[in-house]
Amino acid sequence: MNVAIGGDLRYPFLHKSPVESTNSGHSCVRITRSLRAEPLLSVIESETVTAEEAPSPSGSISRRLILLRHAKSSWQHPSLRDHDRPLSKTGRNDAVKVAEKLQQMGWIPQLILSSNAQRTRETLDIMQEQVAEFLEAEVHFISSFYSIAAMDGQTAEHLQQAICQYSRDEILTVMCMGHNKGWEEAASMFAGASIELKTCNAALLEATGKSWEEAFVIAGLGGWKLQGIVRPSSDL
Q: What are phi and psi of 217, to 5 degrees?
A: -70, -45
Residues in CB range of 156: below 8 A, 6 or more apart: 31, 185, 186, 189, 190, 221
- In 3D space, the residue among 70, 29, 55 whose CA is nearest the CA of residue 220 turns out to be 29
**What gap in Å lies between CA 25 and CA 119, rounded to an integer?**
33
Cβ proximity of 153 and 186 under 8 Å? no
Q: Is 69 helix (H, G, I), strand (E, B) or coil?
A: strand
Cβ proximity of 178 and 43 under 8 Å? no
Report whether 30 belongs to an annotated binding site: no
**What gap in Å lies between CA 27 and CA 147, rounded to an integer?**
25
Residues in CB range of 140: below 8 A, 6 or more apart: 3, 4, 5, 6, 111, 112, 113, 114, 166
Give the residue ranges of the annotated binding site for substrate: 119
Give the residue ranges of the annotated binding site: 119
